[in-house]
Structure 1
Amino acid sequence: MTTTPVPQADETAVLTELTETLHRVLPEIGFEDTPVTMDTRFVEDLDLESIDLVALTGELGRRYGTDRVDFPGFFASLELPEIVGLTVGQVVRHIAGRLR
């Protein structure tokens, strides 16, 4: 029987996982030279489109557990300008908070 390791809830581990997932899921974006920090904005800095964000959060949901991270609920709580200005840090803090 194989067990899946429990994801770490600290923000540094989540940031690392999110960055690795970003590069793996969206290699065509070409931001290898762009540092991904807590202040990095998905739309403004990484030039992600909504479909890219859906792919990224879908993969992160599979990694951390769709029910646990509840991205649909998270995005539903945001206004459109908040979604457009969404930062990596906001997603990291959401995931880490839901894993605690």
Structure 2
Amino acid sequence: MNPTQPVPARPTADTVLADLTGMLLTVLAEYGDDDVVITMSTTFNRDLELESIDLVTLAGLLEERYGQRINLAEFLAGMDFDEIIDLTVGRLVEHVVWSLKTTQAG
């Protein structure tokens, strides 16, 4: 993944999923998990077994890629515990796409 790569003018779920997959594989590589298949329905808790420190790392990678337009901590703060436990990659992808489109329009 190249963090200096420009963000697409019209971010789509596919482009954001590809970016996020690269970020997650970077995080998972620390555990030797480099052959994981990541889809929109992949869950952070059950499927990827990410710890809170991994989410901090992911937040840093998101900010590195997209700037401050994507704030993972703020996104998670708006959820209750069960929502965080059940969080899917797809839901985060949708949030990133929405946030990018909103900041481009505004």
- When the two structures are superposed, what TM-score results if normalisation uses the length of structure 1? 0.85
Which amino acid counterpart does residue 11 of structure 1 have in structure 2? Answer: A
Which amino acid counterpart does residue 71 of structure 1 have in structure 2? Answer: L
% identity of equivalent residues: 44
Cα distance between partner residues in 1 of 2:29 and 2:63: 19
Please give the root-mean-square deviation of Cα atoms over the aligned residues, in Å.
1.5
Cα distance between partner residues in 2 of 1:72 and 1:48: 15
Which amino acid counterpart does residue 28 of structure 1 have in structure 2? Answer: E
Structure 2 contact 43–88 (Cα < 8 Å) conserved: yes
Unaligned runs of 5+ in 1: none
1:7 aligns with 2:12: no
- The structure showing larger relative contact order (alpha-carbon pairs under 8 Å, at least 6 residues apart) is 1
Structure 1 residue 22 displacement after superposition:
1.3
Which amino acid counterpart does residue 43 of structure 1 have in structure 2? Answer: N
Structure 1 contact 40–46 (Cα < 8 Å) conserved: yes
Aligned to 2:99: 98
Cα distance between partner residues in 2 of 1:54 and 1:63: 14
Aligned to 2:104: none
Aligned to 1:70: 71
Unaligned runs of 5+ in 2: 102-106
Pick the aligned partner of 1:59 from 55, 61, 67.
Answer: 61
Flag as ranges the 4+ runs of structure 1 deviating above 6 A.
none
Which amino acid counterpart does residue 6 of structure 1 have in structure 2? Answer: P
